[in-house]
Amino acid sequence: MPLTTLLRCDDLVATGNYYRETLGFTVSDSAASTITVRLDDCSLIFTEQDIWGLPVGYSGTLYLAISNVDSYYESVINNADIAWALQDTDYGSREFGLRDCNGYYLAFTQKSVV
């Protein structure tokens, strides 16, 4: 079951440009004052609206399962703020992490072939 997360940002245009140009996501306008960014089957929605009464921030890591983590890592390594390098984990995934232009941590993991 897909899950879409709504995240606050301070600048929709800058966020859209970052996700499009640096991370290779497709970016589209969605509902009022929001954009949707997509990579493979993963999507995130960003808004400038302060609907939570809190500053931009999130205390966690968003994991995005993609089809080819090795290839994707090579495409972003030189332009993104890599939080941890591509690695095989003890818990059975192949993944890497980065910090986006809003300070959110994203982990990209290989989809299971099972």
Query: Taking CA 6 as the corner, what is the angle to CA 47 and CA 81, rounded to the nearest 5 degrees?
Result: 85
Res. 40: pLDDT tops 60: yes
**pTM for the structure as a whole:** 0.89
How far is 82 from 96, CA to CA, in rounded Å? 8
Over the chain, what is the mean pLDDT?
91
Phi-psi region of 16 (alpha: psi -120 to 50; beta: other; left: phi over 0): alpha
Query: Could you give the 3-state DSSP secondary structure of residue 19?
Result: helix
Q: Which domains does the chain have, with CATH numbers?
A: 5-110 (3.10.180.10)
Higher pLDDT, 91 or 104: 104
How far is 96 from 106, CA to CA, in rounded Å? 8
By percentage, how much of the chain surpasses pLDDT 90?
71
Res. 112: pLDDT tops 80: no
